[in-house]
Each structure stands twice: as structure tokens, then as C-alpha cells.
Amino acid sequence: MKNLTNHSDGVGIAAVERDTGLPKDTLRVWERRYGFPQPLRDANGERVYPAAQVDKLRLIRRLLDQGLRPSRIVAASTEELAQLLEASPEAAPPAAPAGWDTLLAFMQRQDGAALQRALQQSLLKQGLQRFLADTLTPLTDAVGQAWLRGELSVAGEHLYTEQVHNVLRGAIASQGGHGGSPSILLTTFPNELHSLGLLMAEAMFAPEGARCTSLGTQTPLADIEHAATQGGIDVVALSFSAAYPPRQAVEGLTTLRARLPAGIALWAGGQAVREQQRKLPGIRVIADLHDGIAALAEWRAAHPA
Amino acid sequence: MKNLTNHSDGVGIAAVERDTGLPKDTLRVWERRYGFPQPLRDANGERVYPAAQVDKLRLIRRLLDQGLRPSRIVAASTEELAQLLEASPEAAPPAAPAGWDTLLAFMQRQDGAALQRALQQSLLKQGLQRFLADTLTPLTDAVGQAWLRGELSVAGEHLYTEQVHNVLRGAIASQGGHGGSPSILLTTFPNELHSLGLLMAEAMFAPEGARCTSLGTQTPLADIEHAATQGGIDVVALSFSAAYPPRQAVEGLTTLRARLPAGIALWAGGQAVREQQRKLPGIRVIADLHDGIAALAEWRAAHPA
DNA sequence: TACAAATTTTGTCCAGGACAAAATGAAAGC
DNA sequence: GCTTTCATTTTGTCCTGGACAAAATTTGTA
């Protein structure tokens, strides 16, 4: 069995697939057609991708998500790509969130307690929903950016994720009231292990009086179906991070929609599905947290108690 | 672009990968070597897996996770597999924990609120540490067994995990006091994504007055090292589930021990390392939760404030 | 200008071969 | 006895280069 992990100065193709969301087959065929990426080879002839190429692949992935075509960008230089990204509508490198420098310092020195205290303070000041939309969303973006730029280690990012978990779980618990309607089942597909989006969705829906049941990440499709029909569920909500392959998301959602009774609504949120609404008939794509509230209102309008 | 989806009476290889967790390459090589699965082919010669074969693959996957070898099970008939499943549940089927039937019912009907309430109640009655050792440990075992036997769906298991998370995070938060010593960094290696052991360890150490910093799961070795030396850490604690390959655990721990300053202790807990103390000089293997307390006492005896 | 047809682009699948890591079994040492 | 070391089998992942349908784009026509 081969090793998927880090040789001295690069990573294997499986790791690249995991980190960029680009399937192995696609990575190989791009190499053949466009000459990029061009990984090194180890003693056994296997591809070893240097970190710089993986970074560039991530950049390409972002432009791809914006609708650009591979033939225009895969062979392009890093500078051209940076320019395209600037020019794109999504450009706006968001101004650093309030208190960013302090928070970044906490992450860098692994001070979880201080980080949690700061987050908790914002939460109390703003209330849960504004905290989510105005603080956590830009902050999570900024953390991702800082990691890309190398200003923040993986450990720092993990620390952030962990503290957000703590704060949000506490907030959801204190919202209490499991009683309401609709009854929403939250989870992700297999191979999607980002739990933050899920948790943020739960934190957004719970105070609106919905009855949220989270299964955490990575529930097989058949089990989602089973849980939804068993548990008196009204809405199944799925979360997709930017690293999830959009085609797989569309494919899985379509299959799930077909297998689920028509009476159960299907909602999908997150970067990977943001642009896919037209490919997803019968599925409510949720653009952002505010849109989630809108979807909830729609559902209630259509289902008067 | 090919369609990954459901033809009239079967699904494509990508969908099988998603639903069973078995990689495409593995599915193809099994077909070649063992003659199973044997999917139909569509007009274009592509594999189309009937639902019955996908179900059988799921069963095989469960037996595989239990430690059986592919050569013995992949070619076996469905009846043989069912028999193996009956026969295997390891040596002693442990007496069901108190209230097991009720709890199992909660999981089966996806009633997260009731499950959480029951757990919370046990916690209050027993106190955190007894709750961990006497309730949660056997309960988690029983949930794993129930899943293996097919009495509990993946969704049910996920629901359990999620509620334990909620209860334990709440308990840890209410223990408060981040002040103490030693300062313990908790995490897992990459490819180890079970977070329950980690959380249980944190819940055991925190009330003893240790200063716990958890990074969640899957921190690369280099980042563990970085975080430990940056953050004024006294002890690095790693958790390994039963599914983690023991050899990889030993190798990773040895490497980490070598890279970490001698002044920082390294502890390892969980099924995969329980029998490996001899192979791990300089590392404290923690046999169970009680032994964790013992390790803490040892550390304090060796490091008088 | 709108729509249909022809063309190009693009991602996923296939076959069959290869090999290192893991698991197992056999032999040797305490 | 019981481990430890070595040889053998098993097993999962990666490789190459070819193929083709679905999607996207361009061209042609009403």
C-alpha cells in the first residue's frame, strides 16, 4: 500500500485531491493537456506536488468556481491568475474584521482561552445571529486567508475552529427550546468534514424556533434518507465547503432529492453549491446565513400550522 | 462528461464510492481479483452496480472494519457474511449498560433531545469523572457493537456522537478554571478523525486542574511540534481509536518524541496504542481514563511547582 | 434577434500493470 | 514457554494512455 502523505518536499496526489477538491483523474488529465500541474516524481515514479503548485491549484479552483474555463487559466502564470482574481466580481479582499490583529495574535501563540473569551464577548455584545453574520463569517474568511498566506499555522486554524465550536455549542444549548417547527436535520455528505458551516447553520436556525437535529459530518446518503424518514423530519439541510467538488455535490443532491419523499424539503448551503441553483430543481440553495432565515420563512408560509 | 448517476436499475462507480467509502480503484481491483462485485455494464461499457451489490459491499465494509481480511469475505456469499457477523462480536459481549434499551431506542428514532437529556441526567447524578468512566465508556462500546451488528444505523451512531459532544463540551466549559498546571495540548494525528476519545480525555483532565488546549482532530506532526513549543505546553496528549493502524501510531509517536524537546512530555491513549508501551520509550501510554489521572499525578510529582 | 446545429472543451471512466506497505506465517533466540 | 526477526503473501493505491458523453461555445439559419 502506498503512502498518501508528505515526502520531504511535497505531497501525494490523494492529499492534493483532499485539499483542493480536484479529483485525481482531473489532476492527471490537466497535466497531460495543459502542462500544469507538473509534479515531481519520487523514486517509484509517483507524483509529488510541491506546496507552491498546490497553492496555485487552489487559486485555479477559486477562479473555476467563478465560471472561468480551464483552458484559459490552468496554463496561465500565477501573476495572470492573481490579476484575474482581482478583476473578478468577488474581488474585494474584505477589510480585516474588527480586532483582527489581537485575535490573530491569540491564534499564533496558541492561547485558546483568550480567543474563546474574545469570541464570547462579541457574542454577548451582538447577540447570536448578528455575531454569526457580522463577526464569525468574515473572521472565518480571514483565518482561511491568513492560513493561505502562511501567517497562520494549521494548529492556529484548528485552535480557532475548536473555540468557535465551544462558543457556538454553548450558545445553541442555551437557546434551549427543542420544541418548534420545522424539524431540520443537518449534516454533510461523506468526504465533507468541515463542521463549521453546519454548526453556524444550526446556530442560525435554532433561535428562530426550528427543531434542529445535527448528525455531524459525513453521513452516507442512504443513512440521511433513513434518518429523515424515521425521525419525522421536515427539512434536510446539507452543508458544503469550498473544497467540495461541485459536481459531486450536484450529483449527490439530485440523487437524494429523488430518494426523499416529496414532503421533505431539501436545502443546500455553502461555497460549493452557491452558483448551482439552476442545476438543482426541487432543492433550495441557501446563499448565506440571511438567506437561511428567508428559506425558513418561505417554508413556514407554505406550511401553516 | 460522464454521468455518475443512477441508470434505471443501478448506480455508477462514483456513487458506490460515496455510499460505501470504498475507493473506485479498490472496487475495480476486487472485481478483478475476487470476482465481486460484478456490476452490469451500460451501453458505454461503464459499471452499473445493482442495489443488492451495494448493500453487500456495505456489509463487507463493516466486517472489514472489524479486522477480517478481504480474501476471506469479498468472495463469500451473503449468507456466509451474515454468519460471520453473528459469530464475531468479539469474545465477551459485554453486559449492556444500564438503561441501554431506552437509549438505543432514542438513537433508532433519531430523538437527539431525549438522548441528550438522558446523558445529562447521568452526568448530574454521577459527576463528570464517574460519568466518563462508568457510563460513557461502556456506552460508546455498546453503540459501536450495535452498529456492527446492524442494529443501529450510521445516522444513529452519529446522533450519539453529536449528543456526547454537546454534553461534554458543556461540562468542560462549566468546569471553567483555565489556570492550572500542567498545560496539556490535545489532538490526533492526520487520518485519525475520532474526536470522542480526545474530548473524553479533556473532560477527565480539566476538572483535575490541568490547563487543556484541544486542537481537535488531524493535526500534522510538524504543526503539533510547532504548537507545543510556541504555546508553553508541558504535555502533548494524543488519542488513537481502534481503527488507527498501530504501526503508524508507533512510528508517528517515535518521530514526534524525537522532535519534541525533552522537557515536554508525550502521552498516548486509546485502543491502538494500549499494548504498545514497550515499543514507545519516553512516551507515557495511557491505558484508560483512570490511568490518565495517574499519569497526571506522576507528572506533578516529578514537577513540583 | 432568437433558435438550432456543428464544434470544441472538459471531466470521468476504463484496462491492465506495477509496487510498497501491511498482514501473516515460519524460523530463530531469550 | 514467549518474544523477536525474517520471508512470504496479501492488499490498496498509483501509473499510462485511450475513449467518450455531457456541457459549453461557436457557427449557421430562419
- Give me the residues of chain A with pLDDT under 50, please: none
Whether A3 contacts A12, CB under 8 Å: yes
Instruction: Name the pLDDT band for B153 (thresholds 50, 70, 90).
Output: very high
Does the CB of A4 sit below 7 A from strand D? yes
Residue nearest to nucleotide D13 (CA to C1'): A2
Q: Hey, of B13, B159, B229, which one would you mutate to test binding to chain A, going by the most A CBs within 10 A of its CB?
A: B159
Q: Is residue A70 helix, strand or coil?
A: helix
Closest-CA distance of chain B to residue A181, Å? 14
Is B158 in Cβ contact with A187 (below 8 Å)?
yes
The whole-number pLDDT of residue B245 equals: 82
Residue nearest to nucleotide D23 (CA to C1'): B1
b/e map A195-214, b = 16+ CB within 10 Å: bbbbbbbbbbbbbeebbbbb
| pLDDT surpassing 60 at residue B175 | yes
Does the CB of B70 sit below 7 A from strand D? yes
A95: phi > 0 → left, psi -120 to 50 → alpha, else beta; which? beta
Taking the C-alpha atoms of residue A172 and residue A118, their distance in angstroms, rounded to an integer, is 18
Residue B48 CA, nucleotide C13 C1', distance (Å): 12
Closest-CA distance of chain A to residue B291, Å? 26
Sole residue written with cell 433561535: A207
A226-231 long-range contacts (CB < 8 A, ≥24 apart) are A226/B153, A226/B155, A227/A185, A227/B110, A227/B153, A227/B155, A227/B156, A227/B159, A228/A185, A228/A260, A228/A264, A229/A260, A229/A261, A229/A264, A230/B108, A230/B109, A230/B110, A230/B155, A231/A183, A231/A185, A231/B109, A231/B110, A231/B111
Taking the C-alpha atoms of residue B46 and residue B228, their distance in angstroms, rounded to an integer, is 50
Q: Hey, of B154, B195, B224, B251, which one would you mutate to test binding to chain A, going by the most A CBs within 10 A of its CB?
A: B154
- The rounded mean pLDDT for chain B is 90
Residues from chain B contacting residue A220 (CB–CB below 8 Å): 18-21, 154
Is A216 in Cβ contact with B18 (below 8 Å)?
no
Instruction: Name the pLDDT band for B5 (thresholds 50, 70, 90).
Output: low
Residues from chain B contacting residue A174 (CB–CB below 8 Å): none
The whole-number pLDDT of residue B278 equals: 82
Is A178 in Cβ contact with B227 (below 8 Å)?
no
Residues from chain B contacting residue A109 (CB–CB below 8 Å): 230-231
Residues from chain B contacting residue A171 (CB–CB below 8 Å): none
The whole-number pLDDT of residue B277 equals: 85
Residues from chain A contacting residue B24 (CB–CB below 8 Å): none
A241: phi > 0 → left, psi -120 to 50 → alpha, else beta; which? beta
- Options 1.10.1240.10, 3.40.50.1980, 3.30.70.141, 3.20.20.70; which CATH number does A100-174 get? 1.10.1240.10
Q: Hey, of B213, B217, B218, B264, which one would you mutate to test binding to chain A, going by the most A CBs within 10 A of its CB?
A: B213
Residue A69 CA, nucleotide C11 C1', distance (Å): 13
Please name which of B38, B84, B33, B83 lies closest in space to residue B57, comparing C-alpha atoms: B38
Nucleotides of strand D lying closer than 7 angstroms to a protein CB = 4, 10-25
Kindly report the backbone phi and psi dihedral angles of residue B7, in degrees, each rounded to the nearest multiple of 5, phi listed first: -70, 180
The whole-number pLDDT of residue A4 equals: 54
Residue A64: Cβ within 10 Å count: 17
Taking the C-alpha atoms of residue B275 and residue B265, their distance in angstroms, rounded to an integer, is 19
Element housing A166 (H / E): helix A154-175
| pLDDT surpassing 60 at residue B258 | yes
Residue A27 CA, nucleotide D15 C1', distance (Å): 13
CATH class belonging to B100-173: mainly alpha
Does the CB of B44 sit below 7 A from strand D? yes
Mean local confidence (pLDDT), B49-54: 96
Instruction: Provide CB contacts within 8 A for A166, sequence distance 6+.
Output: A116, B169, B173
Instruction: Provide CB contacts within 8 A for A201, sequence distance 6+.
Output: A186, A237, A239, A269, A289, A292
Residue A229 CA, nucleotide C5 C1', distance (Å): 46
Residue B248 CA, nucleotide C23 C1', distance (Å): 14
Does the CB of B245 sit below 7 A from strand D? no
Is B220 in Cβ contact with A154 (below 8 Å)?
yes
Query: pLDDT tens across B56-81, in order?
Result: 999 999 999 888 999 999 999 888 88
The whole-number pLDDT of residue B7 equals: 58
Query: pLDDT tens across B262-291, in order?
Result: 999 999 999 888 888 888 889 999 999 999
Are β-strands A183-187 and A235-239 bridged in parallel, bridged antiparallel, or unpaired?
Answer: parallel
Is A169 in Cβ contact with B170 (below 8 Å)?
yes
CATH class belonging to B13-87: mainly alpha
Residues from chain A contacting residue B61 (CB–CB below 8 Å): none
Q: Which member of B4, B169, B185 has the closest CB to residue A251?
A: B4
Residue nearest to nucleotide D11 (CA to C1'): A1
Q: Hey, of B2, B22, B147, B158, which one would you mutate to test binding to chain A, going by the most A CBs within 10 A of its CB?
A: B158
The amino acid at residue B300 is: R
Residue nearest to nucleotide C9 (CA to C1'): A71
The whole-number pLDDT of residue B162 equals: 97
* Radius of gyration of the CA atoms of chain B, in A: 22
Kindly report the backbone phi and psi dihedral angles of residue A280, in degrees, each rounded to the nearest multiple of 5, phi listed first: -125, 65
Q: Fold for B178-302, please state it.
A: Rossmann fold (3.40.50)
Does the CB of A33 sit below 7 A from strand D? no
Q: Spell out the domain ranges in chain B.
A: 13-87, 100-173, 178-302
The whole-number pLDDT of residue A97 equals: 83
Please give the interface size between A and B, counted as residue pairs whose CB atoms are below 8 Å apart: 125
The whole-number pLDDT of residue B93 equals: 57
The whole-number pLDDT of residue B1 equals: 67
The whole-number pLDDT of residue A111 equals: 93
Residues from chain B contacting residue A210 (CB–CB below 8 Å): none
* DSSP characters over chain B: ----S-BTTBB-HHHHHHHH---HHHHHHHHHHH-----EE-TTS-EEB-HHHHHHHHHHHHHHHTT--HHHHTTS-HHHHHHHHHH-S-S--PPPPTTHHHHHHHHHTT-HHHHHHHHHHHHHHH-HHHIIIIIIHHHHHHHHHHHHTTSS-HHHHHHHHHHHHHHHHHHHHHH-----SSEEEEE--TT----HHHHHHHHHHGGGT-EEEE--S---HHHHHHHHHHTT-SEEEEE--TTS-HHHHHHHHHHHHHHS-TTSEEEEESGGGTT-GGG-TT-EEE-SHHHHHHHHHHHHHHS--
Name the packing angle between helices B78-87 and B51-65 (round to 10°).
Answer: 30
Query: pLDDT tens across B26-51, in order?
Result: 999 999 999 999 999 999 999 999 99
